[in-house]
Amino acid sequence: MTASLYLGRQEWFIPMPPDAQAQKNEVASRALVVHEDRILLVYHSNSDCWFTPGGRIAPGESLIMGLRREIEEETGLTVELGDLVGCFDVLIPKDLIHKFEFIFLSRPTKAPDFTIRPHTDSDPHGVVTKICWFTLEELRTLPRVFPDCIRNWPTWSRPRGKTYYGTKLEDGCTKIENIERFYLSSRVVATHDDRILMVYNGKGNFWFGPGGQIEFGEDITTCAVREVHEETGLQATAHDVIAVDEFYSPSYKIHQINLYTRCELASGDLPVNWKDTAATGHVAKSAFHTRQQLAALPRAYPEYMAELAWPNPVKEKVA
């Protein structure tokens, strides 16, 4: 089975106080820039720490677009951006932020001619003062590096058979505009007896995997389990994050980022006449679908849900 894209909650330099509660989301995009056996890190002078290149994106700016901008500002290098290979979240006590970060495998377009060199961040508010290539052994001995999971980058950045990441604009819209905030969502991929669990949004007239907004400070897997129960009445255990996509809704003014989480259901018996228990829930009904039934639904999201549910479909035997 494909390893989870989710690398866990990372620790910030100053922990969030136990009695504090995050009040807003931020999103960042980062690059794992690899050349042979080394990766590129940038030094932040204000925190005396080495970081993977990247930084915050604005609502409406895609993870890829934001990352290209950040790499140029922080390194001045030209790189080829590859697959999404990991994501994590972190709680930051300053301004009470719950931040989600996404890491893309990247490679320089030409071999580097330096090991370490000074660099002036082209962002007027930037804090990068030097950049350096590190071997895995050197990386593991650095006293301060963020995210800490980068110390073992070869274990989670191996090539995957297929990486699911994409962007989608709201139906009927022609351009991304009037986007004001992020909406981080945990979406569930769960099958039982070779049928996939889907829920129907009566307001939007479409089917999708159970799920909804990750509350400030909430763990991704906790959100997935909670949403399954609120929308269907079923109990679930959350496992891997297997896909990520971005959805832009000018109507709701949101930049939605969906983290698709594979879940195991305790039962396939849907409660009769179950009502969505969320205060703002729009689920009108839920049902299990075979692969053929899923394909026949007029509106079901994401379009590649069948590939997530049945990554290795059994081929029919030909007589």
Q: How far apart are CA 251 and CA 177, in angstroms?
A: 9
Is 198 among the domain residues?
Answer: yes
Q: Which of 135, 156, 177 is the last residue of a domain?
A: 156
Structurally, the chain folds into a number of domains equal to 2
Task: For the chain, 319 residues long, give each residue's pLDDT as a single digit of tens.
Answer: 467 999 999 999 999 999 999 999 999 999 999 999 999 999 999 999 999 999 999 999 999 999 999 999 999 999 999 999 999 999 999 999 999 999 999 999 999 999 999 999 999 889 999 999 999 999 999 999 999 999 999 999 887 777 789 999 998 999 999 999 999 999 999 999 999 999 999 888 999 999 999 999 999 999 999 999 999 999 999 999 999 999 999 999 999 999 999 999 999 999 999 999 988 888 999 999 999 999 999 999 999 999 999 987 554 434 3
151 and 243 both lie in a single domain = no
Q: Which of 130, 156, 182 is the last residue of a domain?
A: 156
Is 283 among the domain residues?
Answer: yes
Structural domain boundaries enclosing 20: 6-156
Is 295 among the domain residues?
Answer: yes
Spatial neighbors of 38 by CB under 8 A, at least 6 apart, are: 133, 134, 135
Q: Which of 132, 156, 180 is the last residue of a domain?
A: 156
Is 318 among the domain residues?
Answer: no
76 and 184 both lie in a single domain = no
Q: Are 229 and 235 in contact (CB under 8 A)?
A: yes
Q: How far apart are CA 69 and CA 66, in angstroms?
A: 5
96 and 181 both lie in a single domain = no
Question: What per-residue confidence (pLDDT) applies to 319?
Answer: 37
94 and 235 both lie in a single domain = no
239 and 266 both lie in a single domain = yes
Is 319 among the domain residues?
Answer: no
305 and 246 both lie in a single domain = yes
Question: What per-residue confidence (pLDDT) applies to 313?
Answer: 57
Query: 108: domain CATH number?
Result: 3.90.79.10
Report the relative pairing of strands 79-92 and 97-108 from DSSP bridges: antiparallel
